[in-house]
């Protein structure tokens, strides 16, 4: 997992690979139109910056900070959101 | 608060007919995204003058109310379900959209819209303004949570925003009551149609978001800094170790309160009904009418009303949890576990409360937005071992199971049997949930989304109104059906009259039904006496005890011990276990059936549920009766 966090910016990964404090930019949503639309209405628009937050015990579901809101997604949904990791990793052990 | 005090005198007694009795037929709709504080504003505007019903034909709750303007005129307000956009994805959103566009024939098209947006998250919430303004209906844009915006260093120029949107803008705090005057001003005014400068292509979400961002910038919108306390609290409540601990404490507190703290109040109410029943009985001459009034109506109404403390305690808890923002965190923590049976985190609290009583549990499923998940939760809730099963369990267990140790001194055979029955109900619920969620109530692949609102102090007004609401719904809906059925059962037990007096229960209509039932229940090891008990227990499970007592002609004082002896005489051990299994599975509760009918909007689901649970109870009891001899 930690290897993925230092990958070059160009390669795509998914929201599932983000750990707490990691930030990434949304590239596209790999879901049917209706579901993608709902996610977009909640702020998950291509180009937006997403930060991974707390999660339930076991890491699923996880809260993501996006466009001024905090939205929890299950793993199965998070892996459909393809993102580009930001170069600098944010402090992951923040209080 | 003052508008609340004004109408205190009229209070609950005034039934507001809507919209028929309105003097001025002005009707406005309250719309907005979830978590925008729409309902708080609705409460603030209407106070106690509100009414909850279902939209005809759907299971969406319709909140309507009357707001009184300072000049004395009144305006009808419809509080619509939360909306993210006007391209609906759920039944709730479909209804909201149809009301706004005037496509619902049962609801008059609103003359104006109050669009409530969260001022602390304006750039995203403004997206909804585009399709709303495009409707061309007079609209007031209400930026709610002004206090939060200010306290956290945010800013917005409402005049500029109003110019951009071509509609009036009010910055309010529904919680504090700040700026509510502007809403009344708008409602009293001529309400001009909106004239927005430009609108984006509504189908294109990115374009809508870009438009919202641009409008926000032109109104010099500065978003507030993230809420400090929410971050701090989340680092405890969602901590990998502390989080589940807090969750466990909350769960135990809810459970303890509805299970134990409500009991003295319930006993008090029961006592009140007994005493007043005796008082009524003493005041009236001995007649069949008195018996109907006291034994039928009085005890029927009493058996419903005693649940009220439980309902209120549960909703007090849920109200605090939901309004404070913790409920979303609890749902997050419980989600993984619930997902294993195909449900989701929000089903957890309703299912937990079903251990006390399925009625408030089913009423509390309103917090689950996903309709299929909500229905599945409603359908499995009555399997949880509710408090009404306990007296039946303890009676039969005490009569048939000797109290010898099973696990050393820690677990006796009786406690083990009781525990086994709890597990049995739980397993039935889990299995049913799995079946439902993989068949008729399959959620498809709709992503599970859970918005985490900022933590806020719940207000007394909001929680008080909710309690009032739920109490009204509970008493009215469950009350009417229960009353009907208890009266019906009373008639069955008292006809045909012998010399103007009630017959012995064995000779009554109920006895006849019990005998007719006997061939059907004989394979389970039950005789006609148990059959009568099963019929009367339809009103409420514990009723079987009183009925059996009456059949065996027992003095209520010595009933408990005598009843055990009588049961040992009438039931084989196999039959006793079968009876326990029957009670664990069967849906013998008119209140629950009535509430399911209300919450699912028709008879289809309660009938399906009653049949399914009844069939499971029959098969389960049959197997038990033949395994154990």
Q: So where are chain B's domains?
A: 2-225, 242-459, 464-627
* Residue B422 in tokens: 């709890």
Predicted local confidence at residue B561, as pLDDT: 62
Does B452 sit within 8 Å of A38, measured CB to CB?
no
Beta pairing partners, A24: A50, A85
Instruction: Find the residue in A nearest to B450 (Cα).
Output: A72
Residue B23 has pLDDT above 70, yes or no: no
Residue B559 has pLDDT above 60, yes or no: no
Where do the H-state alpha helices sit in B91-204?
Answer: 91-101, 122-125, 129-134, 146-151, 158-165, 180-188
Does B448 sit within 8 Å of A73, measured CB to CB?
yes
Residue B438 has pLDDT above 90, yes or no: no
- Cα–Cα distance for residue pair B583/B534, rounded to 1 Å: 9
pLDDT digits (tens, 9 = 90+) for B330-350: 989 999 988 888 888 888 878
Residue B595 has pLDDT above 90, yes or no: no
Neighbour count for residue B95 (Cβ, 10 Å): 25
Is the residue at A95 inside a domain?
A: no
Is the residue at A70 inside a domain?
A: yes
Write out chain B residues lying below 8 Å of A63, CB-based.
234, 238, 332, 452
What's the CATH superfamily of B2-225?
A: P-loop containing nucleotide triphosphate hydrolases (3.40.50.300)
pLDDT digits (tens, 9 = 90+) for B246-290: 998 988 887 777 667 777 888 898 889 889 888 988 888 877 788
Write out chain A residues lying below 8 Å of B238, CB-based.
54-56, 63
**Complex ipTM:** 0.83
Residue B431 has pLDDT above 90, yes or no: yes
Predicted local confidence at residue B509, as pLDDT: 85
Average predicted confidence (pLDDT) for chain B: 84
The residue assigned the tokens 């009215």 is: B476
Is the residue at A40 inside a domain?
A: yes
Predicted local confidence at residue B259, as pLDDT: 66
Neighbour count for residue B28 (Cβ, 10 Å): 24
Write out chain A residues lying below 8 Å of B333, CB-based.
56-57
| Structural domain that includes position A20 | 4-85
pLDDT digits (tens, 9 = 90+) for B139-169: 999 999 999 999 999 999 999 999 999 999 9
Does A34 sit within 8 Å of B205, measured CB to CB?
no
Does A70 sit within 8 Å of B449, measured CB to CB?
no
B1: confidence class by pLDDT, cuts 50, 70, 90: very low
Q: Which of A34, A70, A80 sits opposite B452 (nearest CB)?
A: A70
Distance from CA of A8 to the nearest CA of B (A): 27
Phi, psi of B196 (to 5 degrees): -70, 150
Phi, psi of B564 (to 5 degrees): -60, -45
Q: Which residues 121-180 of B are in CB contact (within 8 Å) with A?
A: 121, 123-124, 127
Predicted local confidence at residue B25, as pLDDT: 62
- Average pLDDT, integer, range A45-59: 93
Whether B333 contacts B359, CB under 8 Å: no
Is the residue at A18 inside a domain?
A: yes
Does A54 sit within 8 Å of B87, measured CB to CB?
no
Closest CA relative to residue B563, chosen from B576, B575, B550 = B550
Beta pairing partners, A51: A23, A65
Does B446 sit within 8 Å of A45, measured CB to CB?
no
Beta pairing partners, A64: A52, A71
pLDDT digits (tens, 9 = 90+) for B169-200: 999 999 888 999 999 999 998 888 999 988 99
B465: confidence class by pLDDT, cuts 50, 70, 90: confident
Write out chain B residues lying below 8 Å of A71, CB-based.
449-452
Is the residue at A91 inside a domain?
A: no
- Cα–Cα distance for residue pair B444/B454, rounded to 1 Å: 30
pLDDT digits (tens, 9 = 90+) for B396-425: 888 888 877 777 766 778 888 888 898 999
Instruction: Find the residue in B nearest to A73 (Cα).
Output: B449
Whether B331 contacts B369, CB under 8 Å: no
What strand order describes the sheet that includes A62-66?
Answer: A12-14, A81-85, A23-29, A49-55, A62-66, A69-73, B449-451
Give me the number of domains chain A comprises.
1
Write out chain B residues lying below 8 Å of A70, CB-based.
451-452
């Amino acid at each position: 997992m930690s290897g993925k966090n230092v990958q070059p910016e160009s390669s795509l990964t998914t929201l599932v690979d983000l750990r707490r404090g990691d930030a990434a930019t949304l590239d596209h949503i790999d879901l049917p139109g209706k579901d993608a639309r709902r996610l977009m209405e909640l702020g998950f628009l291509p180009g937006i910056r997403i930060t991974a937050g707390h999660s339930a015990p076991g890491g699923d579901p996880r809260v993501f900070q996006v466009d001024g809101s905090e939205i929890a997604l299950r793993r199965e949904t998070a892996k459909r959101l393809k993102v580009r990791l930001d170069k600098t990793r944010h402090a992951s052990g923040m209080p | 608060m003052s508008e609340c005090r004004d109408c205190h005198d009229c209070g609950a007694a005034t039934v507001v007919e809507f919209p028929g009795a309105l003097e001025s037929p002005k009707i406005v709709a309250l719309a907005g995204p979830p978590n925008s504080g729409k309902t708080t504003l609705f409460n603030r505007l209407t106070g106690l003058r509100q009414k909850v019903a279902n939209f005809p034909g759907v299971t969406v709750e319709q909140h309507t109310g009357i707001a009184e303007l300072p000049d004395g005129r009144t305006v009808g307000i419809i509080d619509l379900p939360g909306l993210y956009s006007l391209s609906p994805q759920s039944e709730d959103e479909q209804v909201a959209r149809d009301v706004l566009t005037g496509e619902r024939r049962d609801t008059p098209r609103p003359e104006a819209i109050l669009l409530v947006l969260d001022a602390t998250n304006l750039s995203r919430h403004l997206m909804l303004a585009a399709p709303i303004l495009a409707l061309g209906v007079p609209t007031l844009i209400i930026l709610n949570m002004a206090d939060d915006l200010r306290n956290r260093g945010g800013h917005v120029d409402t005049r500029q925003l109003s110019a951009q949107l071509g509609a009036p803008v009010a910055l309010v705090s529904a919680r504090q009551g700040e700026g509510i005057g502007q809403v009344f001003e708008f409602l009293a005014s001529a309400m001009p149609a909106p004239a927005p400068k430009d609108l984006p292509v509504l189908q294109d979400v990115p374009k809508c978001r870009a438009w919202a961002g641009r409008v926000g910038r032109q109104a010099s919108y500065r978003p507030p800094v993230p809420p400090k306390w929410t971050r701090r609290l989340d680092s405890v409540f969602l901590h990998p170790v502390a989080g589940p601990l807090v969750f466990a404490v909350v769960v135990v507190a809810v459970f303890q309160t509805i299970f134990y703290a409500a009991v003295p109040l319930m006993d008090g109410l029961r006592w009140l009904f007994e005493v007043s029943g005796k008082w009524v009985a003493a005041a009236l001459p001995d007649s069949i009418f008195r018996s109907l009034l006291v034994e039928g109506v009085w005890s029927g109404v009493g058996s419903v009303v005693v649940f009220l403390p439980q309902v209120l305690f549960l909703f007090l808890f849920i109200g605090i949890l939901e309004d404070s923002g913790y409920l979303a965190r609890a749902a997050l923590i419980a989600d993984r576990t619930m997902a294993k049976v195909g449900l989701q985190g929000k089903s957890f609290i309703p299912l937990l409360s079903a251990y006390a009583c399925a009625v408030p549990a089913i009423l509390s499923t309103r917090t689950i937005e996903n309709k299929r998940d909500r229905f599945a939760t409603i359908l499995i809730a009555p399997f949880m071992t509710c408090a009404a099963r306990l007296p039946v369990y303890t009676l039969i267990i005490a009569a048939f199971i000797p109290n010898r140790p099973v696990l050393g001194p820690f677990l006796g055979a009786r406690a083990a049997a009781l525990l086994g029955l709890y597990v049995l109900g739980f397993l039935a619920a889990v299995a049913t949930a799995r079946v439902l969620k993989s068949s008729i109530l399959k959620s498809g692949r709709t992503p599970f989304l859970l918005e985490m609102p900022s933590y806020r102090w719940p207000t007394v007004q909001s929680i008080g109104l909710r309690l009032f609401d739920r109490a009204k719904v509970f008493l009215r809906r469950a009350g009417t059906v229960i009353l009907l059925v208890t009266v019906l059962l009373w008639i069955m037990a008292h006809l045909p009259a012998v010399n103007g007096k009630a017959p012995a229960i064995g000779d009554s209509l109920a006895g006849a039904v019990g005998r007719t039932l006997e061939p059907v229940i004989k394979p389970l090891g039950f005789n006609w006496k148990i059959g009568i008990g099963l019929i009367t227990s339809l009103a409420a499970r514990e009723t079987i005890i009183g009925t059996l007592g009456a059949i065996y002609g027992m003095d209520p004082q010595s009933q408990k011990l005598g009843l055990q002896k009588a049961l040992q005489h009438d039931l084989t051990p196999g039959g006793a276990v079968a009876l326990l299994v029957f009670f664990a599975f069967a849906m013998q509760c008119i209140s629950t059936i009535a509430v399911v009918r209300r919450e699912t909007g028709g008879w289809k689901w309660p009938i399906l549920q009653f049949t399914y649970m009844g069939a499971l109870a029959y098969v389960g009891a049959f197997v038990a009766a033949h395994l154990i001899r």
